[in-house]
Amino acid sequence: MLHDPEDYPEPEVFNPERFIQDGKINPAVRDPFTLAFGFGRRICPGRYFSNDTLFMTMASILHTFNIHPILGEDGRKFDPETELVTGLISAPTHVPCTVTPRSKKAEELIRQLPSPVAGEA
């Protein structure tokens, strides 16, 4: 249902702008939240927890890191062709960018965290 071209033109194309009009959420575009977690008797009971967790994760990342696109040889933003891997979760195969801590304090905070991979320092 989230790939219906009547609701989402060119559904295979990553285009977040389709949800925005004049800098605000476009009310004419169906909110994916209404379908992504099911509906009726089978609606996901963890949908609010999931959204809140995603929000907190993204807010923490954006608060701690500067994320910039890679610049091309001419000094302009490098915009490579990106393929999507589809499946349970769709994701780009590669997004060239630089990720750096926003400050010395942020870097210290990051270094204090345990490694996400067991046994890795």
Residues placed in the known binding site for heme = 44
Cα within 13 Å of Cα(78), Cβ side: 15
Which residue numbers belong to the known binding site? 44
Task: In whole angstroms, give the CA distance from residue 69 to residue 92.
Answer: 14
Cβ-contact 8, 15 below 8 angstroms: no
Nearest residue to 44 (alpha-carbon basis) of 54, 56, 35, 55 = 35
- Euclidean distance between CA atoms 83 and 91, whole angstroms: 8
- Which residue stretches of the chain are H helix? 33-36, 47-64, 104-112
